[in-house]
Amino acid sequence: MSYLVFARKWRPLTFDDVVGQEHITDTLKKAIEKNRVAHAYIFTGTRGVGKTTSARILARALNCEKGPTTNPCGVCTSCKDVIAGSSFDVLEIDGASNNSVDDIRDLRDNIGYSSMGGKYRIFVIDEVHMLTKNAFNALLKTLEEPPKNVIFIFATTEPQKIPATIHSRCQRYDFKRIGAEQILGRLVHICTMENIAFERSALMLVARKAEGSMRDALSLLDQVYSFCRENLNEKEVRSVLGLVGMEVFEHVVDAIKAKDAAGVLKVVQDVLFQGFDLQEFILGLQEHIRNLLFARIPGALLSRGIELDAEAIEKLTSVAAHFSEGDLLRMSEIVRKAEQDLKWSAYPRFLVELMVLKLVFLDNTVSLESLMRMIGSDGNLTELSDPIPTSVASVADDQKKKI
């Protein structure tokens, strides 16, 4: 038997299995319970968030031998046929390759046939926005006066391309991007069930790389598991996904702390030499500075959305002590602007080099209270263990003269 990828093996089979779309699955379950199932739906959202999967679950829930039910059994003939894609009562159509008016006319002719044992005839049209204008017009009359027990489910990533006349005859459900924490929870569950050893920080990298798509997350999990095999650890996952290692960002911060311009330029050179994408480098640096900023805020690193072990938190806290909150905020703003400008830059390497040099030559922020303590009650500049930025020293001298 051929290998079944995680994206297919762990495809949700019930509404409760669908992650991050409770606002939709709860509504559909209540509609089934109250016998208020509409004749046409539009499921919209980005790729891999559960549109077609939810359509199949709805089809099974309505045609289950124990149904209509909110929890299809999965073992009756109807449920098995829908799962296998061989049901005569649930027809899935690819709108991209069946988009002509003749295809829709064939569909209308097919609608007239009675069901083969199921309670409903359900037509799922994927990428429905690919239908031609004439095809939509051919479908319009059927949607306006649908035959009894016929349900249409239109799945699309571009709902704005669907005519308003079609929209007005359907119930629309917007599937949102799935949060990284929710994806992480699902990945942890799958790895536990598959007996895969893992580090939570490694799975969080996969969840973030998926950018809100559960299907992408499962495909990436397949990819990194093939490489790591014995244990999913952060270092190897970064290598597989083409993510810059944490030690690179630590070297950048060390160079910023030491005001080492040559050192920080060498880091950029090494990143390019190793073939990493500069966009990934900037995004990783953004995340590292974010963690340093949160390390300055008591309890922030323990909040949801940041998966770090105790050793990593201790290390971040130690490094963050060399910067004030104002320093880190200005550093994050410089990196954020560079990330935006990189998309339009004709010379991206120089832009990144300018970014890191700005970080190196950035003056430290000193609060007014600290400045007054530097001056001292007698008007003399107090000696501190850390060097005082030139700009701060000049301000302090001016204050001293005024006093």
The type of residue at 153 is I
Instruction: State the pLDDT at residue 374.
Output: 60
- Chain centre distance of CA 21: 14
pTM value is 0.77
Instruction: State the pLDDT at residue 394.
Output: 47
Instruction: State the pLDDT at residue 298.
Output: 81
Instruction: State the pLDDT at residue 106.
Output: 82
Instruction: State the pLDDT at residue 116.
Output: 65
Q: What burial letters (b/e) apply to 216-229, b meaning 16+ CB within 10 Å?
A: bbbbbbebbbeebe
Instruction: State the pLDDT at residue 307.
Output: 61
Provide the sign of the torsion angle of the four alpha carbons 298, 300, 303, 309, taken in this order: negative
Fold of the domain spanning 180-241: Helicase, Ruva Protein; domain 3 (1.10.8)
- Chain centre distance of CA 278: 20
3.40.50.300, 3.90.950.20, 3.40.605.10, 3.30.2130.10: which CATH number matches 6-174? 3.40.50.300
Is-contact 50 10, C-beta < 8 A? no
Instruction: State the pLDDT at residue 304.
Output: 55
Q: Along the chain (403 residues), what's the average pLDDT of each consecutive run of 10 residues? A: 84 92 95 92 94 94 88 89 87 85 81 72 91 88 85 93 92 93 92 91 89 93 86 87 88 92 93 89 91 85 64 85 89 93 91 93 65 60 48 47 48
124 DSSP β-pair partners: 92, 153
Instruction: State the pLDDT at residue 249.
Output: 92
Instruction: State the pLDDT at residue 385.
Output: 45
Element (H, E) at 94: strand 90-94
Helices (H), 87-173: 101-111, 133-144, 164-167
Architecture of domain 246-360: Up-down Bundle (1.20)
Instruction: State the pLDDT at residue 267.
Output: 93
